[in-house]
Amino acid sequence: MPLENTMMQQCLMLEEEDENSNTGSAEFKDDWEEDENWTDPQWEDHLCWSERNSVAAGHSSNKELPSVNGACHQKGLVSRMMLNDDKAGMEGLDKEKINQIIYEVSKGSRFYENEKKKDEQVNKRIQEQYDKIQKINESQLKQGLEAADILLEELERARDLSYTIVHIDMDAFYAAVEMRDNPSLKDKPMAVGGNSMLSTSNYHARKFGVRAAMPGFIGKKLCPDLVIVPPNFEKYTSVSRQIREIMAEYDPNFCPMSLDEAYLDITEYIKKREKMSDFERSYICRDSQNVPLTLCQCDLNRTLREKVFSQTASDGNSNSVLSHLSNKCSHFENGSCSQCVFTYSCTSSNNSAGSEISSKTTEGRSSGQMVGEQNLHEAECFSCQECGKICPEFRLVTFGFGADESVREMRFRIEQRTRLTASAGIAANMMLAKVCSDKNKPNGQYRLPNTRDAVMQFIKDLPIRKISGIGKVSEKMLKAIGIQTCTDLFNQRSLLYHLYSPISFNYFMRISIGMGSTTVERDSERKSISIERTFREMDKPSDMYDLCRELCHALSEDLREEKIKGRTVGIKLKTVAFDVKTRAYTLANHTSDTDVIYEAARGLLRTEIQTCAPQPLRLRLMGVRISSLLHESLCKREKRQNTITGFIKQKSQKQKVEQSSFDLQAVGHNIEPQFIEQGVDILQPANKVDLLASKPTVDSKVTKQDIYKCHTVEDESLQAIETPMQSQDRTEKEDPRIVDVTVQDSDCRAAVQDSHCRAAVQDEDCQAAVQDVDSVAIVHVEATAYSAQYENNRTAVFISKDSCVLKEKVNKDDRTGGICGSLLKSNKCPLNSFISAKSLSEQRRDSGSNDEINYFQLGDLKEMNLINLDSKSSDSSKQSINEIPQTAAEDVTNTFNRESSIYQADLVTFLCPVCNKNISCANEEEINLHIDVCLKGQEHIDLNQTGFQTPDYSKVRKSTPHKTNVNRTEENSNQTCNESQPHDSNYHRRLSSTHEKNQSGSKQTEPFTLSREDDSVRETVLSDGKEEILGLICPVCYMEQRDQDLDIFNSHVDTCLSKGTISQILEEQRQSEKANLKR
DNA sequence: GCGGATCAG
DNA sequence: ATGGCTGATCCGC
Ligand SMILES: Nc1ccn([C@H]2C[C@H](O)[C@@H](COP(=O)(O)OP(=O)(O)OP(=O)(O)O)O2)c(=O)n1
Ligand SMILES: [Mg+2]
């Protein structure tokens, strides 16, 4: 209370300043006073209230927090746990009693303890807020007030009351659908969801305090008769589609906010409507929504409306009939404008559709008694063209003009179509419309006139909590400084100016004068995709990794389905104490690859497990999210990111070599060492070309972004690499080795595993292997070189363990030429390389050139300063070794011995040539695995991490913040039923194994069961029960093979090869993918 | 860019 | 005994 007093003192100061400042900005003040009812008793009231509550100055800074939400009345129950009765249909409840029950059920639970913790944190924030206030002096307050008034003046000038915005919201949506489809629920309190969480409840249940986001078991306590029905997302989606079809007719650019609500701008529509005929404003109304199944159940306005009109019109008395028979439809709400002009009834006779519609419109059917009057001629029955059944009795209702009638008509049509009711709000902006739609809920509408007076009056006593964007916490924080209504927001504007960010301040100020967005537009593209699951306590890391992989798999499927890729991978962990942690890692390039996502996620997860050790991490939820999304087609070609060839090519010297081809003789596998050597010999001369001779822009696919400044030897090389070329000419002069990077269309994969270095490549052939710390060989062979003769045929090159090419040292000069194959310093390099060819025609299409190009470069990491052997180059990565982020790739070692290796020491640091970071690795395998992951998941870090994006910090917060994206997969948006049978069809589709909590009473002792991915190819004969690791990827079927034994792997490849051509296999895969999608 | 928190539905 | 899931935004660092 003392705090509150002090607050109020501040408020008083504010008010005083206000008085002063009003003289300062006379123009605005006048305006405000005139139009704003500044002298309105209500405003006076507020001022008085402020003053009343202000006491003599109290300045101690650690006051008791003011009681908010009346928490003190509810012993023990923190405010955030108390019932929110802000929802429609929850007025006048016995809150005390309900909260008591909630408390009884909740106390002592982990959830509750966590809520208490969070509540304390909020209280701390409030205390901080208070401390901040203490530091504000008078002149600052005055300055804040001036700033606020300037802003308000600006806003006021921009106020536009010319729009008619509608917010439509279905009533108790999920519950209403379930009640519609199961009428026995109609008179019962019911909710949709499961025992652990409810999505929503019907209005009957709301009377008991049962509401959305409440656990089912608490709902049951509040209302023992509560019926809980599982959700059925397909139905909701389908209904949503129906209502959106209708909405689109009123505003084709309407903005759906969720399955059940949307904003519409009907400004234009209303004008258009003025010219609409009675027919066009008339809709069929079924006399009864519950007709026997023997009669047509279809939406008559869809199936019959046109027909009725055309037949009526053909009778030549179209409008006259309607206007003549302007019977009021009394049962129809508000009947003031909407009129029933036509009735139709029919016996069960099965005659063809009536041809004399006009005859069915009888004048005798006057006011109020449209129904119940006698059937007309039996011969006049309509039969539905869709279901063939006879149409039930209906009337025709004509709606008037203007916003009210338009919206009424829309709601009417929605009800006719779906047998569900909607509520609507009509106002000058979205913020107000949203508030209005709740006013006459359910099944009602409310329009706020588009006048400033009406708006201000409406806003005046409106609790801020009603405004979208102000939730429980904001309410509490604001209440702590005496703000409960929108008027309070205005009065405390100076304080708000000092306490909150410009964005929030702007947001509050707009609310305070009833302003909101008037631009109803669909949200831009989605910004993230995620999946998360709650399960019974989990503490075994292996289980966690398994689950994590499944989540990643599901996520990657979703990404591919939407044809997008992401760059930032994040995980979310919720401990059994409900502590939520999120971790994220941004890759250098976009991906939708399960493995890449998983490696990143696993790295993050591992770090958390480590951080927790030796205590086990005890989880109740895990999630994976991916953001920084980009449409597939806008992402850089995968080839470039997936081959170390492509990568090094950009980072080291670049060459655009003369086009030369060579004939790849070896088909099948086991390339002989001499073959490779031969290739090198063949290519070397041809590749020695003057780099400057070929202009970077010769190839149409070269874009500026593809051009990098690449030094190879200089110390500052790494910085240089990270800088996209500013001026082509200049850089070219600076360094003759700067070349363009050609984007090519291929799909390469690289994987390094165990002590093997291996690359598997598809489409075009790129292959690379890294071995040893100080040397690397890069090969990039354009498939066209040899694909001609193998068009539509698999071309596989297999370098067996034995045939690994060894080479003493890669000279700088050697970079100019080469052929497929890879060579390394160490002779323990077991290298597998696979090349599959792309058809010649495809190649030509891709390259845009008839001439084939062979790129072959050999690089030496050491020479290129990419291996960090001294501290100098580590500077270039801008990170000290101690600050190395734990990237996904760094985690690769633990694939093999997840737990044990965590504590292994003796790490070697090397500078990864791909991600350009210092990496601590225990051994070569780790390095190789790291590079592999980098290659798969990262691309040109130079380009993406140079931070060239212009910061676009707008101080204007959206009037409706936190607006959710509507383009998401909405069927997935809710999951409140985690019973044994999840009811979201996608729930099953997305995760192949069920980690969900077991149903109560389940005897299963394990928290979950794991099943392998449905990918049967993975369950190959090669599997010998070894722990799954990053497998070899078959170049033919592209399936990862778990077995590491090269012989077995080779035989797998042989088997694959014998099955058919690559194209056939690919086709099969495509087909099966399609089939899977359909399923 | 990351992590925590808030908000909506 | 049982306390969801998806997505967005903002803030502070
Ligand atoms: N925490 C929440 C809130 C809502 N929903 C779902 C179920 C609701 O049926 C639907 C629409 O949300 P509304 O807020 O519009 O609530 P209702 O439509 O159920 O009720 P009403 O709009 O009548 O208040 O979204 C959910 O899954 N979880
Ligand atoms: Mg609703």
DSSP secondary structure of A992-1009: SS--SPPPTT----SS--
- In this prediction, residues A327-350 reach a mean pLDDT of 40
Q: What is the pLDDT, as a whole number, of residue A306? A: 84
Our measurement of the distance from residue A1000's CA atom to the centroid of its chain's CA atoms, rounded to an integer in Å, reads 32
Q: Is the pLDDT of residue A401 over 70?
A: yes
Residue type, A545: Y
Q: What is the pLDDT, as a whole number, of residue A183? A: 95
Contact at 8 Å (CB) between A803 and A675?
no
**CA distance readout (Å), A322 to A277, A309, A343, A404, A619:** 10, 10, 11, 21, 66
Estimate in Å the CA A7 to C1' B8 gap, whole number. 30
What is the pLDDT confidence band of residue A339, given thresholds at 50, 70 and 90?
Answer: low
Pull the structure tokens for residue A260: 């059940």
- Which stretch, A597-606, A675-684, A884-893, has highest mean pLDDT? A597-606
Q: How many CB atoms lie within 10 A of CB A1072?
A: 10
Q: What is the pLDDT of residues A64-120, one digit of tens each?
A: 444 444 444 456 788 899 998 888 898 888 889 999 999 999 999 999 999 999 999
More confident residue, A17 or A598: A598
Estimate in Å the CA A962 to C1' B6 gap, whole number. 9
Pull the structure tokens for residue A191: 């909710």
Q: What is the atom index within ligand 1 of the atom nearest the CA of A203?
A: 23
Estimate in Å the CA A24 to C1' C12 gap, whole number. 35
Cα A384 from Cα A188, distance rounded (Å): 34
A285: enclosing H helix or E strand: strand A282-286
Q: What is the pLDDT, as a whole number, of residue A636? A: 82
Cα A835 from Cα A825, distance rounded (Å): 22
What is the pLDDT confidence band of residue A990, given thresholds at 50, 70 and 90?
Answer: low
Cα A597 from Cα A548, distance rounded (Å): 10
Q: Is the CB of A978 under 7 A from strand C?
A: yes
Contact at 8 Å (CB) between A654 and A855?
no
| Closest ligand to Cα A169 | 2
Over chain A, what is the mean pLDDT? 60
Cα A20 from Cα A5, distance rounded (Å): 22
Who's near A81: CB < 8 A, 6+ residues apart?
A: A102, A103, A106, A112, A115, A119
More confident residue, A775 or A615: A615
Estimate in Å the CA A909 to C1' B9 gap, whole number. 48
Burial class (CB in 10 A: 0-12, 13-18, 19+), A26: exposed
Cα A202 from Cα A186, distance rounded (Å): 9
Which of the nucleotides lies closest to A86 (Cα–C1')? Answer: B8
Q: What is the pLDDT, as a whole number, of residue A1054? A: 32
Using a 7 Å CB cutoff, list residues 64-103 of A near strand C. 81, 102
Pull the structure tokens for residue A528: 């993230």
A410: enclosing H helix or E strand: helix A402-418
Estimate in Å the CA A284 to C1' C8 gap, whole number. 40
Pull the structure tokens for residue A679: 């290739």
Please state the ipTM of this predicted complex: 0.99
Q: Is the pLDDT of residue A507 over 60?
A: yes
Who's near A606: CB < 8 A, 6+ residues apart?
A: A541, A886, A891, A894, A898, A902
Contact at 8 Å (CB) between A507 and A959?
yes
- Residue A582, strand partner residues: A572
Question: In terms of residues, how long is chain A?
Answer: 1079
Range in A362-371, A391-400, A554-563, A783-792 the model is least confident about: A783-792
What is the pLDDT confidence band of residue A1073, given thresholds at 50, 70 and 90?
Answer: very low
Q: What is the pLDDT, as a whole number, of residue A389? A: 87
What is the pLDDT confidence band of residue A1078, given thresholds at 50, 70 and 90?
Answer: very low
Q: What is the pLDDT, as a whole number, of residue A85? A: 84
Is any atom of ligand 1 closer than 6 Å to the C-beta of A438? no
Cα A979 from Cα A990, distance rounded (Å): 17
Q: Is the pLDDT of residue A48 over 90?
A: no
What is the pLDDT confidence band of residue A657, given thresholds at 50, 70 and 90?
Answer: very low
Q: Is the pLDDT of residue A29 over 80?
A: no
Sign of CA dihedral A715, A718, A721, A724: negative
Residue type, A310: S
Going by C-alpha positions, the residue among A711, A707, A655 that lies closest to residue A686 is A655
Estimate in Å the CA A415 to C1' C8 gap, whole number. 31
Q: Is the pLDDT of residue A493 over 90?
A: yes
Cα A884 from Cα A897, distance rounded (Å): 22
Is any atom of ligand 1 closer than 6 Å to the C-beta of A178? no
Cα A480 from Cα A65, distance rounded (Å): 8
Q: Is the pLDDT of residue A57 over 80?
A: no
| Centroid of ligand 2 to alpha carbon of A260 (angstroms) | 6
Contact at 8 Å (CB) between A386 and A303?
yes
A596: enclosing H helix or E strand: helix A594-612
**Chain B bases under 7 Å from protein CB?**
1-9
Cα A104 from Cα A866, distance rounded (Å): 63
What is the pLDDT confidence band of residue A289, given thresholds at 50, 70 and 90?
Answer: confident
More confident residue, A412 or A883: A412
More confident residue, A699 or A461: A461
- Which stretch, A537-546, A811-820, A1008-1017, has highest mean pLDDT? A537-546
Q: What is the atom index within ligand 1 of the atom nearest the CA of A193?
A: 27
Q: Is the pLDDT of residue A164 over 90?
A: yes
Q: Is the pLDDT of residue A157 over 80?
A: yes
Q: What is the DSSP letter of A295?
A: B
Range in A58-62, A209-213, A950-954, A986-990 the model is least confident about: A950-954
Q: Is the CB of A470 under 7 A from strand C?
A: no
- In this prediction, residues A964-987 reach a mean pLDDT of 43
Contact at 8 Å (CB) between A854 and A680?
no
Cα A693 from Cα A739, distance rounded (Å): 10
Q: What is the pLDDT of residues A719-767, one digit of tens each?
A: 222 222 222 222 222 222 222 222 222 222 222 222 222 222 222 222 2
Pull the structure tokens for residue A219: 């709902």
Pull the structure tokens for residue A4: 């509150």
Ligand 1 pocket test, candidate residues A192, A260, A438, A443, most atoms within 8 A of CB: A260
Q: What is the pLDDT of residues A511-528, one digit of tens each?
A: 999 999 999 998 789 999
Q: What is the pLDDT, as a whole number, of residue A811? A: 25
**Chain C bases under 7 Å from protein CB?**
1-12
| Centroid of ligand 1 to alpha carbon of A300 (angstroms) | 28
Residue type, A398: T
Q: What is the pLDDT, as a whole number, of residue A140? A: 96
Pull the structure tokens for residue A671: 């390339």
Pull the structure tokens for residue A481: 């400084």
Cα A387 from Cα A384, distance rounded (Å): 6
Pull the structure tokens for residue A740: 């363009």
Q: Is the pLDDT of residue A921 over 60?
A: no
Q: Are strands A445-447 and A422-427 parallel, antiparallel or unpaired?
A: parallel
Strands ordered across the beta sheet of A255-256: A255-256, A261-265, A165-170, A422-427, A445-447
**CA distance readout (Å), A1059 to A1030, A1045, A1046, A1068:** 25, 21, 20, 12
Cα A93 from Cα A443, distance rounded (Å): 21
Q: Is the pLDDT of residue A156 over 90?
A: yes
| Closest ligand to Cα A442 | 1
Going by C-alpha positions, the residue among A464, A87, A433, A491 that lies closest to residue A254 is A433
Cα A363 from Cα A342, distance rounded (Å): 9
Report helix angle A110-134 to A95-106, nearest 10. Answer: 120
Q: What is the pLDDT, as a whole number, of residue A637? A: 73
Q: What is the atom index within ligand 1 of the atom nearest the CA of A976?
A: 27
Cα A985 from Cα A792, distance rounded (Å): 39
The stretches of A654-807 forming alpha helices (DSSP H) are: 673-687, 717-721, 728-734, 784-787
Q: Is the pLDDT of residue A845 over 90?
A: no
Q: Is the CB of A527 under 7 A from strand C?
A: yes
Which of the nucleotides lies closest to A964 (Cα–C1')? Answer: C8
Q: What is the pLDDT, as a whole number, of residue A192? A: 98
Residue nearest to nucleotide C2 (CA to C1'): A196
Q: Is the pLDDT of residue A478 over 70?
A: yes
Our measurement of the distance from residue A450's CA atom to the centroid of its chain's CA atoms, rounded to an integer in Å, reads 35
Burial class (CB in 10 A: 0-12, 13-18, 19+), A363: exposed
Q: Is the pLDDT of residue A410 over 70?
A: yes
Residue type, A319: N
More confident residue, A377 or A148: A148
Contact at 8 Å (CB) between A10 and A129?
no
Ligand 1 pocket test, candidate residues A85, A173, A978, most atoms within 8 A of CB: A173
Q: Are strands A908-911 and A918-921 parallel, antiparallel or unpaired?
A: antiparallel
Q: What is the pLDDT of residues A528-587, one digit of tens each?
A: 999 999 999 999 999 999 999 999 999 999 999 999 999 999 999 999 999 999 999 999
More confident residue, A15 or A442: A442
Q: What is the pLDDT, as a whole number, of residue A300? A: 87
Q: Is the pLDDT of residue A204 over 60?
A: yes
| Centroid of ligand 1 to alpha carbon of A414 (angstroms) | 18
Q: Is the pLDDT of residue A396 over 50?
A: yes
Cα A183 from Cα A206, distance rounded (Å): 18
- In this prediction, residues A370-384 reach a mean pLDDT of 46
Range in A16-20, A204-208, A840-844 the model is least confident about: A840-844
Phi/psi of residue A808, each to 5°?
-60, -60
Task: Give the percent of chain A with pLDDT over 90.
Answer: 39
**CA distance readout (Å), A350 to A360, A389, A983:** 17, 9, 41
Q: What is the pLDDT, as a whole number, of residue A316? A: 52
Our measurement of the distance from residue A358's CA atom to the centroid of its chain's CA atoms, rounded to an integer in Å, reads 53
Q: What is the pLDDT, as a whole number, of residue A617? A: 97
What is the pLDDT confidence band of residue A976, given thresholds at 50, 70 and 90?
Answer: low
Q: What is the atom index within ligand 1 of the atom nearest the CA of A175?
A: 9
- Residue A240, strand partner residues: none
Residues of chain A by 3-state class (helix, strand, coil), percent to 5: 40, 15, 45
Cα A223 from Cα A225, distance rounded (Å): 5
